[in-house]
Each structure stands twice: as structure tokens, then as C-alpha cells.
């Protein structure tokens, strides 16, 4: 029996001991699971909880969602961002009403026909709400499998919405708008570096990279990792020196390429040893820029003058 075959029992034991109590888990109807999965795209659980509760109080059924005015829907979604998610929710709710008689399709294939529902979301709804034995595979699952199996030949950007984020940034018309991009270096490929360079040619850009730890590093084997919100210990999986070097090499390449591309347009990348240090560096950067603009009596638009040094 290989390591993957042995994984389900200890993983399920850990889940039973550490699983958070969440409203969509406590009452996993297809509607609840679906709305929660869409809200959780690109958004943390802690940020979603209050929105989810308000949404369910206002629109307790899929029929309510299908019938609600768009302005009301957008108001309920306000603050979550990526508003196309809400629009697709309503499109799918109307599909359920019109094409399925108001009842959610109970097959993976049927769920895939709904607007805004991809393979992962269809798998999550089918398995959680209907007990259908289909996988819900995202980037986290692939990373766990890769660490255990030793197969690291995968697309590091899987499960990330970097392309959508950059596409949104490119469509910002205000050329004086400061665009702040925060991402993980491992999610970036060469095509993303080129797009970021194109954005920096038309807008002031600050790129904040948030990858501060190498999860594969064997030297971290004795270190315990904890979830920042809940404080629960994250179980250590296999570390691998070859994988750690692959991660480090990719990060060095991406950082060098990004710094070169951004510097051509006077923009800057911020890297630091912690999230607090990243935030402090960003605040100092913007504060200096605004100070210079005030001294110029606002005769010119605020300029980041990003060629000045930012502590790393």
C-alpha cells in the first residue's frame, strides 16, 4: 500500500478533531454549499461568514435568489468583490428555476451546466450535498498529493485567479490610480510578468509578494505551523530538499524578472520577512510620495517615485 492509499484515515481523523464549525457544514444543502463555495473563491472564510449569514437571511432559497432585483443582490454582495460571482449566482439560480424545475441537479454533469460552476465547485456540491463520490480538486489538494507522492511536475498557478486579477487591473481607466497587487510568487508565470510590465507602463504599480516561507524546506521540519486565525496546528507533511530548491529557484527567477520589469517604469516590488513588514514598507512608500506631492502644492498628480529604496 502506497502513502496515498494510507492517507484517508489519518486525514479524516485530523479533520474530525480540528474541523471548524461553519454554517454551510452544519446544514449542507445544495444551495448552502453552492453559495458558500462561490463566496469562498479568492476570499478567506473569516471574511465570508458575516456575508453568508446576511445573504441567507435575505435570500434563504434558490428561488429567492433567482427573483431578487440586481441592485439588492449587489448590495448584499458589496464588500466581497469580484461582482461577476454574484451575477453568475443569479444566472445559475434562474437556470435551476427554468431548466430544473427549481430543484438543484444532483449529478456532477448537471451541476457543470450552471453558470459560474466549474469542475471544483461541481465536485464540491455533488460530494458534500449529494454524497456523490466525485473529487473536488483544487491547488491545495494537488500540493498535498505532490508532497506525499514526490511528483512535483505540476502547474504552480493551478487554482489561482491571477489572470482574472490582472485582466481587471488592465481595464482600470484612471491612469493616476495606484494599482497594488498582492500575490504569491509561485502563482506567477512568464506571461504574468509580461502583463504586469504592461500595466506598469500605464499605471503606478506596487507589487507585494507574500511568499515568505518555503513549505518544503527540510530545515523547517522541527518547526510547527499554525493557522493565523484559528491558532490550530497545521499537520506537517513530508519535506523534500529537491522540492524546496525548486521553490526557491522559481522564486528567485520570478523576483529578478519582476524587479527588472517594474524598474523600467519606475514601479516597485515589496518583499519582506513578514506581512507586518510588507505593510509597513508599503505605508512608508506611499507616505513619502504624498509628502512630496504636498510640498509641490499639488501642482502635479501624486507620483510614487518608486525608484527610492524600500526596506526589504
Report which of residues 225 and 22 the model is more confident about. Answer: 22
**CB proximity list for 3: less than 8 A, separation 6 or greater:** 148, 149
More confident: 209 or 100: 100
What percentage of the chain exceeds 90 in pLDDT?
29
- Distance of alpha carbon 114 from alpha carbon 139, whole angstroms: 22
Q: How far apart, in Å, are the Cα atoms of 302 and each of 174, 264, 292?
A: 13, 19, 8
Residue that wins the pLDDT comparison between 58 and 245: 58
pLDDT band (50, 70, 90) for residue 236: low
**Cα–Cα nearest to 3, from 149, 152, 215:** 149
Band of pLDDT at residue 205, cut at 50, 70 and 90: confident
Least confident of 155-159, 204-208, 210-214: 155-159
**Does residue 60 have a pLDDT over 50?**
yes
Take residue 143 and report the three cell numbers written for it. Answer: 500540493
* pLDDT number for residue 107: 94
For residue 126, pLDDT over 90 is answered with yes
Cell readout for 144 is 498535498
pLDDT of residue 80: 86
- The whole-number pLDDT of residue 225 equals 53
Read off the pLDDT of residues 277-306 as tens digits, 9 standing for 90 and up.
Answer: 777 777 777 777 666 655 554 455 544 454
CA 82 to chain centre: 11
Q: Are strands 233-234 and 225-226 parallel, antiparallel or unpaired?
A: antiparallel
Q: Helices (DSSP H) in the chain: which residue ranges?
A: 3-6, 8-18, 23-26, 30-39, 45-58, 62-67, 70-77, 84-99, 108-111, 119-130, 139-149, 162-170, 190-200, 241-263, 275-295
Q: Residue 154's pLDDT band (boundaries 50, 70, 90)?
A: very low
Burial of residue 217 (CB within 10 Å: 0-12, 13-18, 19+) is middle
Please provide the DSSP assignment of 11-54 as one string: HHHHHHHH----HHHHS--HHHHHHHHHHTTTS-HHHHHHHHHH
Question: What is the reported pTM?
Answer: 0.51
**127 is written with which cell numbers?**
460530494
Side-chain-side CA neighbours of 261 within 13 Å: the count stands at 22
What is the predicted pLDDT for the residue at 224?
60
* Average pLDDT in the chain: 79
User: What distances in angstroms separate CA 239 from CA 78, 142, 232, 247, one per listed residue?
Assistant: 41, 15, 20, 12
Residue 2 reports pLDDT greater than 70: no
Q: How many CB atoms lie within 10 A of CB 156?
A: 20
What's 178's DSSP letter? P
> Cα–Cα distance between 204 and 212 in angstroms, integer?
24
Amino acid at each position: 500500500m502506497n502513502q496515498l492509499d494510507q492517507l484517508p484515515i489519518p486525514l479524516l481523523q485530523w479533520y474530525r478533531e480540528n474541523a471548524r464549525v461553519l454554517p454551510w457544514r452544519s446544514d449542507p444543502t445544495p444551495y448552502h454549499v453552492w453559495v458558500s463555495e462561490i463566496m469562498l473563491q479568492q476570499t478567506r472564510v473569516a471574511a465570508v461568514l458575516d456575508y453568508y449569514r446576511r445573504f441567507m437571511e435575505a435570500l434563504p432559497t434558490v428561488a429567492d435568489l433567482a427573483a431578487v432585483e440586481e441592485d439588492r443582490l449587489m448590495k448584499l454582495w458589496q464588500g466581497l468583490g469580484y461582482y461577476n460571482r454574484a451575477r453568475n449566482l443569479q444566472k445559475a439560480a434562474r437556470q435551476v428555476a427554468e431548466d430544473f424545475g427549481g430543484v438543484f441537479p444532483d449529478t456532477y454533469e448537471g451541476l457543470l451546466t450552471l453558470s459560474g460552476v466549474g469542475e471544483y465547485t461541481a465536485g464540491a456540491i455533488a460530494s458534500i450535498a449529494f454524497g456523490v463520490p466525485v473529487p473536488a480538486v483544487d491547488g491545495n489538494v494537488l500540493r498535498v498529493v505532490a508532497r506525499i507522492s514526490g511528483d512535483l511536475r505540476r502547474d504552480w498557478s493551478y487554482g489561482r485567479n491571477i489572470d482574472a486579477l490582472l485582466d481587471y487591473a488592465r481595464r482600470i481607466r484612471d491612469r493616476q490610480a495606484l494599482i497594488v497587487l498582492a500575490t504569491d510568487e509561485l502563482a506567477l508565470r512568464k506571461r504574468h510578468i509580461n502583463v504586469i510590465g504592461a500595466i506598469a507602463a500605464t499605471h503606478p504599480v506596487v507589487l507585494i509578494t507574500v511568499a515568505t516561507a518555503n513549505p518544503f524546506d527540510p530545515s523547517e521540519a522541527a518547526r510547527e505551523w499554525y493557522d493565523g486565525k484559528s491558532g490550530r496546528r497545521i499537520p506537517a507533511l513530508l519535506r523534500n530538499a529537491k522540492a524546496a530548491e525548486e521553490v526557491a529557484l522559481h522564486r528567485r527567477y520570478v523576483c529578478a524578472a519582476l524587479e527588472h520589469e517594474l524598474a523600467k517604469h519606475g514601479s516597485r516590488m515589496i518583499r519582506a520577512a513578514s506581512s507586518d513588514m510588507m505593510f509597513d514598507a508599503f505605508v512608508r512608500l506611499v507616505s513619502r510620495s504624498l509628502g512630496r506631492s504636498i510640498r509641490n502644492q499639488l501642482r502635479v498628480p501624486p507620483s510614487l517615485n518608486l525608484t527610492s529604496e524600500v526596506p526589504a
